[in-house]
Structures are given as C-alpha cells and as structure tokens.
Structure 1
C-alpha cells in the first residue's frame, strides 16, 4: 500500500512565508504585494514585518490568503553590525484569531516604519517586557513561547546571519528552517542551506524546510536584483482557507522550490517514488552515506524510484532543473514511516 508523503488529494497553493511590507522596512504596501505576487501565481503570503504582528484581513478573497506573522531578531552586542552574529525567526499565526504578540517589549527593538505601528500591537499586558539576549537559552525560549502560543516558527537565513554549526546546533523546537532565502541570495550571500538542514536533521531535529523570498522590494520587479517571487513553497491543502493552509504547514504537506514542480511523492514498502516536471537529475539525500542520484542527462527525467536500504535514518529529495534551480522535499524519518 502506498503511503503518500504529499497528500494524494487537494490543491497546490503557491506561498511566500517571509515577506516585508512598508509597515516595516519593505518598500511596497501589503496591497501592492498582493497584486505583484498574484501576477506570479501565488495564493498565499505570510506578512512577517519586523517585530509587529498585524493582520491584513482586507486582502483576503477566494483567490488570496494573507497569513498573520512577524519576524523577531536578536543579535550579538558589542560588535559592529557587519561583524555581529544574529538570529532571525519568523512567527506565523496558526489561527486567524491569534493576533497577540509574544516576546513583546514596550519600548525596545522596533526600527524603521515598525515604530509607527507600535500602538497597534496587541500583547499580554500582564507580562513584563521581554528582554532579548543572543544566547541559545534566550533563542530557544523565544521559539518555545512562539510554539506554545500558536505560531509556526521558522529559522531564517543562517548564512546572512553569520551563524554556523556552533550556534544553530544549539537551537531547539522550530518548525522549519529556510533552505533558501532568495533576498539574501540576490544580495550576494549563499543562503542555499541544504547542508545546514542536514546538520540539523543528523542532530535529531525533526523539522521541515521552506524556501522563501524575505522580500523588501528595494529593486523593481523582474530586474536581476529583484527579491520577489524567487523562492516559495507549494502547499497541498483541500481549500484556500486559513486553518486548512496552516494545518498543512503543521503537517508538512508542502515542498519548496525555485522553479521545478513536484507532483507526487509516496512510499511503498522500501521504495520512494517521486514525480516532477522535467529536470536534469533527482537526488535522494540521507542521514548516512546511502545517497542516490538518478539522471538522464540532457534528455531529462520526470520521475524516479529509490530503493531504501533501511538504515538511512531519514531521507529528503532534491530535483535539479537544467538551469540549476531546485525543488526540495521535506525530510522524512524512517522510524516515523514505519509506524
């Protein structure tokens, strides 16, 4: 019997889970962003402006869904900005009614246009101001509070953040890591983070991966340095409705991409089957030295079967187009599949 790793039923919805508008340090309004992304086939944007959780229900219609979210950052002190390490996390509300911000400070941390919207933020007034410190303990506490209070938490752009294994190996509890951050890539940083994802997986962290824009729109769209519409996830859900979309996020019913499409993914006994748009090669990456590659060269391939040995710990798949752009599945642990 087939075990579908991407649901057999439902529709794919294209989504950007990391987006900045002119409510913080982005250049475009939420309405302008909706128009730009819908022109490029998107149905979902998580608005994750810096340090302010604000909802945009006026954008929602039968073809578009705005998710509520915000981005938190905590940085090393005592260093110049170009040299300081930093950790950025996006919190995406799993319920449309969840607009109470966690880790709030009444007077610190806001910058750029976020300052103008301080009075709009809802928070638990019975709690003291949350002091951020660049330590694993504080970062893990922020993640814990986000998860406890109904947010999908992503760990963002480790390359741009100057973080390496010494830092991210100590972080616990996030839902996902950004395997691609498009804004950082067009800015000159190598934020294709497959190796970081594997480090975390091999360290026992059962997390998903997302590709996201982190767009600020400082350059015109459709120009070489535009940071919009370059990295996204495809969510498989029954309908374009808030709880259906966030439920699919929680379940990992999505894949990440910069271009290739994945149309089917299932397991049958010890065989993993994938179907996709035409690509140059398809690679099975694992938790040990059992990786596999299928290719047909210039002709291209649209599907592949991988027979597992049974000792891989986990596997994930990358489909690489002839132009080098990739699609990425989430990781699947063998002990979970055997249940």
Structure 2
C-alpha cells in the first residue's frame, strides 16, 4: 500500500499556506510577499490576510504576481465566533472565491451574533476552500473545540510565527486527539509570516501535482497529496510485507507514530531509508512519519490509515 502522495504522477511543489501582508496586519505589500517567497525558492503561496471588517475583509488579488515559475492560490484567515476560552476563532481557508461573503466580525473580538468557528469553516469548504485549524497551541484550543470543526481538512501542526513570537508552535497533540477519535484530518506546516519579525520561511507544504497550477494544487491539498517540512524531504512511504518502508533525505532519526503512546524511532547516520514492522503500531488504525535531520529540522507525513 502506497499513499497517493507518493503513488500518483507529478512532482512535489513547495508552498506556504498562511501568510499576511499590509492588507491586514503584515508589514509589506502583497507584491513584496510574493517576490520574497519566489526568491526563496517557493513554487506557490496562499496569501491569507485577516478577514475582518477592520481591514475591509480582504481576499488579496495575487493573480498579477503569477508567472511560469510561481503561482498563488487565493485565501484568507477567517475569524468568527468564540472558542471555549472566549477567544476568537482562527481558520485558514485556501482556495476561497474572491467574492466570499463577509462575516459579522468587525474587529478581533468574538460577539454573540457571529457565525461560530465550525460554521465559518463549513461555509468556506462549501465555497471550495481547503480549510485548516490554525495554531491550536497558540490559540489555547481545547479538544472539544477541535472536534467541533467537522469541515476541517487539516490542522496546523507547526506554525513558524507562533514559534518565533510565542514559543507555541504546535498542533500535533490536537491532530493526534482528533485521529484517535476517528477524524481523518491531515497536518500542515506554515509560516503565518507578518514580516515584522524573522517569522518567514520556517515551515511549508510539499504538494504533489502534475503542474504548478492553482486548481491542481488545491485539489491535491484536499486529497491529502502532500507532506510538510522544515527542510527534510520525504521521498516515499510504503506498507509492504508487513513493514513500513520510508525513503527520505539524509536523516539521523525516523519516527513512526500511532494511536496513543505507540511510537517507534529508528536511529542512524545519514539514513536515506528506514523500515519497521507494522506490528510496532499495535492495533493503531493509522500511523504517521516524522523525519529529523542532523540540524534538528523535521518533516511530517500526513496520517496514513491502514484500512
């Protein structure tokens, strides 16, 4: 069994799915955001400015900044309703139509008359977007909050800006809780860059598609045909002969995680291949793979369901 991200035709394109410009609270223009990501070797981005009335509900028109080497997907960071802790929801929506209807969120404040977080996420999915729950650790998201977003395609497992500014970058506990409750969600790494601090180019997705085309990239995201990284590459994952086989760029640790406490680490010098028996995952119906290189940078597969 080979996950479709490693079986389908095409190549991996590097992209960032969460970034801000001076259309909301970022420090630089949309054009400069796109220029910097292209200069850093990215194939695409989604510019996801804060979709609130304070900024006139922006969905940045990044179409003029596309060319033969670099493309963009329209998107926004949506805010509506209160989490259990009373704070406003943050939902990343990639692939929104330019005319997506505004919410009742004028400022960064949750009000009783707003859509709930799960409702705005569902409306974004209905409009054609790929939706992710943003920075769970930074937001103080509860497990009940996370489970309430039934429309989510993914969870932000790593958010670079939240690492730089708050040392709260993670969403993997939220992801694993959702998986343990049977929710088939994937995981993304993002920057959430605002460019006032060194908060860019720290986490990204590698999306498998035949062309660097917005529509193809969006469909691949929805299908889970990607992995996430801070630098290492995942070349192949396969379940064969009762073993999990992994091929990657040079790593000193390959970790396979499953339900609950199930995890197994494989150590080695400059490993480019690793394998372990599937039974190390016990009765876990899924596993995911984490690659760690010599510098401590990581790459993460999406969860792989054994059925």
TM-score after normalising by structure 2:
0.89
Residue 305 of structure 1 aligns with which residue?
Answer: 275
SS of alignment partner, residue 178 of structure 1: strand
Report the count of equivalent residues: 298
Q: Distance in 2 between the 1:18 and 1:315 partners?
A: 26
Query: Which residue in the other structure is 1:11 paired with?
Result: 11
Change in Cα spacing, 1:132 to 1:84, as seen in structure 2 (3 Å) is closer
Match among 145, 149, 167 for residue 171 of structure 1: 149
Residue 46 of structure 1 aligns with which residue?
Answer: 46
> Judging changes above 3 Å, is the alpha-carbon distance between structure 1 residues 173 and 250 closer, same or farther for their aligned structure 2 residues?
same
- Residue 259 of structure 1 is matched in structure 2 by 231
| Counterpart residue number, 1:123 | none
Q: Deviations over 1:287-316 (max 9, x none)?
A: 2444221111xx231111132137221110
The correspondence for 1:67, drawn from 56, 73, 97, is: 73
Take 1:290 and 1:159, find their aligned partners in 2: how far apart are those partners?
Answer: 22
Taking the aligned partners of 2:47 and 2:19, their CA distance within structure 1 comes to 5
Change (3 A) 1:103 1:322: same
2:27 counterpart residue number: 27
1:42–1:5 Cα change, 3 Å: closer
Alpha-carbon distance in 2 for matches of 1:7, 1:34: 30
Q: Distance in 1 between matches of 2:239 and 2:4?
A: 6
Q: Are 2:246 and 1:274 equivalent residues in the alignment?
A: yes
RMSD in angstroms over aligned alpha carbons?
2.5
The question of whether the paired residues in 2 share the 8 Å contact of 1:275 and 1:302 is answered with: yes
What's 2:140 paired with?
Answer: 162
Alpha-carbon deviations, 1:50-77, whole Å to 9, x = none? 1122322101111111110111123649
Name the CA distance, whole Å, in 1 between partners of 2:22 and 2:173: 33
Aligned counterpart in structure 1 of residue 121 of structure 2, from 143, 146, 154: 143
* More displaced stretch, 55-64 vs 306-315: 306-315
TM-score (norm 1): 0.81
CA distance in 2, matches of 1:307, 1:103: 50
**Structure 2 segments unaligned to the other structure (5+ residues):** 52-57
What is the CA deviation profile of residues 154-189 of structure 1, one whole-angstrom value per residue up to 9, with x for unaligned ones?
100111112232432333220111000100100123
**1:179 touches 1:210 (CA, 8 Å); kept in 2?**
yes
